[in-house]
A and B are shown apart, each in its own frame.
Chain A
Amino acid sequence: MATTPPAEKPPAPPPPPNTIKIDGREIPFKKGDTIIRAAHDAGIDIPHYCWHPGLSVAANCRMCLVEILPPPGRPAMELDILRWDAEKNDYVPAKKPKLQPACQQGCTPGMEVLSDSSDNVAEARSAVQELLLLNHPVDCPICDQAGECRLQDYWLEHQRKGKRMQQEVVHKPKAVPFGPTIVYDAERCIVCTRCVRVSAELAGDPVLSIRERGNLGEVTVSPGRELDHDYTLMTEHVCPVGALTSSDFRFKARVWFLRGARSVCQGCATGCSSFLDYDPRTNVAHRYRPRENPLVNRYWMCDEGMLSYKRAHEDRLTAALVGREDATIDEALQAAKEQLKGHKNDPTKIAIVLSAQHSNEDNFALATLAKTYLGAGDFFLAKRAPGKGDEILISEDKNPNTRGATEAASTTPPRPFAELVKAINAGTYSYVIALGSEVDVDAAEAQAALGKLKGVVTIASHQGPLAMAAHIVLPACSWAEADGTYSNNPDPVLQTKRSNGDNGATLQTQRAERALTPQGDATPGWKLVAALAQALGYAMNWKKLADVRAAMGTESSARSAAVVEAVAVKPEALA
């Protein structure tokens, strides 16, 4: 490129593309993007406390200051400062560019931004860190946030020196209960107002606010109120420091011992993407964290969902039951063979109950057993009774896989459980093979009806009416103990909101990873279905989950395609 032909007449310069340069790297931006959002979307991290991609801009922590180079031919905006000169042992006049908060400064085409490569920015970050830590109690040993604290991370990245203030730090209230779920420590708080904005913008309940100013600033609850809306744990989740702690998780575990499995919340039909944090040493699940998913929950989860991780340990069935007595799985399968002895004579006497609580794989396995081997075509659906919903994330349908279970029966949509009770009372059925344990009809009524049958075999992960009524129960893995996919079904109001570009959810089939080692004798549901089929003398030879998914793939339904697609997503892309 040494010799360039002499330019004839330069064409009119093309309009600059919608890109900015950060530290020399060119990244695209969308109209209305701020620098930090464009960088965030491009995978560049600009350190920040108060900015959150799902919240409005506050620009109060000053951690994201960046240097913006002046446009060509224009002077830089500079400030007169006094800089310490060690040689002269005195302050000398100097100039410093005016830094801008990247979270508030909009992008303009061709803008050049210096972040990590600017000494001025490095100095500013170090100074901001020192200021934020000035009155910090540094009680990391007892702080639940230690290990995932921005103050710790950024101290290491951007400060790396002690503070110079030698006076006693400002003391503020500690361990203040904000409500049933949140405990507040004002000394650790950096007053970034993320929690205030979550309450106001996500939950629509502006119950938190800031009082006082400067180093006396602290978060308070409205007089006469408690922090008790449906998204209180999100205030804790967005808190970049240890100021807000969840009273559920408080002092239970150290985060560096936890591993996060990419999971799906089982609390309702919205199916929020989440991390299920568990301690692999003790095989105990400790908490949920929302996992960013722009198509479903964005950055959020509700309190009910956040606390539903407890279902991984509560009311679990960990051993097979034969007539309410503990048994091994082999014994239970033998007993099931005995009970279902006459089923081949009249397949119409068999009712199949699919579960909206179990994964697509489990439901598919049972549907395949019914249609391909048993010849039964009467499907019913066991699901939890509907509850309260809202227009933010919570769905009225409290089952994670209603859509998947409904589609598993493909041609004959499963009927409600109430109809099964009616049909049993009318003497239509003699045998029931069921998945799941919870029903949306009166438990006593369901148990009374099922008690009349010749054979009731239930594959369930948790205790519940269906498991209680069954003659034979096989212990299935919960969602936390087995890989599986779940097809969500958010309320129409959420889907409408989403189609208008607002907070809401779309229909998705998502994969939940195994977190815990199965407890007791628990075995994946599809495996139990296959074992039951083999005990009944059918050649259902699925050995691993991939076999089930391959069988699903041969089906040409939309659901199978969705499952195959969900499984094919690289795990890294889900993080």
Chain B
Amino acid sequence: MAKMTPSNPWMKPAQRQVAGRPVARPNRTPSVQAYVPEFLKGMSLTMRHFFKNTKEMMLGQTPDPVLEALEEGVTTINYPEQKRPYPERFRGIHRLTLREDGAPRCVACLCCSTACPAQCISIEAGEYPEGDRRRGYERFPQSFVIDELRCIFCGYCVEACPVDAIRMDTGLHAVPYDSRDQFIYGKDLLMAFAGRAGDHKTANPRHEPGDPGHPGVTREHEH
């Protein structure tokens, strides 16, 4: 049962007393009561920023939100038009690196999906067809799917990859989508992402079977 306060003038409809103490009403001075000066004060601030931002936008003088903060203590930025620079080793959305000829570097060894603690990578391996120079040397992912919703961005897949085929250096993060299935990234999408430098190359030093300089696969070649 609510504790009754004798001085409480507020009653609930059923003549029950309201619990607690009443809040003191603000002291309404005439300057507060006449709201126009306060209104103008507020609007002037708004308009000042409006004109300043418009001018900067038109002239291309928008300051960098991080390096040249607008004003002391102002930390908001116009995301997503503006983005904070991510640290160099930021782990973003995965990408599959490519070879010279645009084929995926991945050899479908499943080391990444083995290392993945979230079990978000699923790969089906395929064999290069008869006559392909890589047949016998390597295999390729027939399908390579990452569930970016399950992914915890730990980077273990990148660590585990023996051929530098998967990287998280896109600088992108998963964007909000309409539906869950849009977060399931397939091979083609993962291959389409470029690294931060804008290229799809891999740092894997292994040379390709069939490259000039590769000793070849037949015993007739000189060893």
Contacts and interface: CB of A to CB of B under 8 A. Distances in A.
The answer to whether A and B interact is yes
A175 B215 contact: no
A176 B135 CA distance: 10
A269 to B, nearest CB: 36
21 contacts: A137-B137, A140-B162, A141-B109, A141-B111, A141-B162, A170-B223, A171-B216, A171-B221, A172-B217, A173-B218, A174-B135, A175-B136, A176-B136, A185-B136, A216-B219, A251-B125, A251-B126, A251-B127, A251-B139, A254-B114, A257-B110
Nearest to B128: A175
A176 B218 CA distance: 11
A250 interface: yes
Contacts of A250: 127
Interface of A: 137, 139-142, 146, 168, 170-176, 185, 216, 250-252, 254, 256-257
A72 B107 CA distance: 58
A142 B219 contact: no
Interface string B122-140: 0001110000000111110
Nearest to A256: B114
B163 interface: yes
Contacts of A137: 137
Q: Which 3 A-B residue pairings sit nearest by Cβ, starting from the closest?
A: A175-B136, A174-B136, A141-B109
Contact of B107 (A142, A172, A173): A142
A142 B108 contact: yes
Contacts of B114: 254, 256-257
B125 A174 contact: no
A251 B142 CA distance: 11
A173 B218 CA distance: 6
Q: Tell me whether chain B's interface is mostly helix, strand or loop, or mixed.
A: loop
B210 to A, nearest CB: 12
B125 A171 contact: no
Contacts of A185: 136
B80 to A, nearest CB: 38
A171 B136 contact: no
A250 B108 CA distance: 12
Contacts of B223: 168, 170-171
A141 B107 contact: yes
A218 to B, nearest CB: 8
Given A251-B125, A254-B114, A168 B215 contact: yes
Contact of A254 (B110, B127, B216): B110
Contact of B163 (A141, A174, A257): A141
A168 B114 CA distance: 31
A254 to B, nearest CB: 5
A146 B109 CA distance: 10
B213 to A, nearest CB: 10
A171 B139 contact: no
Interface in B133-153: 135-139
Given A141-B107, A256-B114, A171 B215 contact: yes
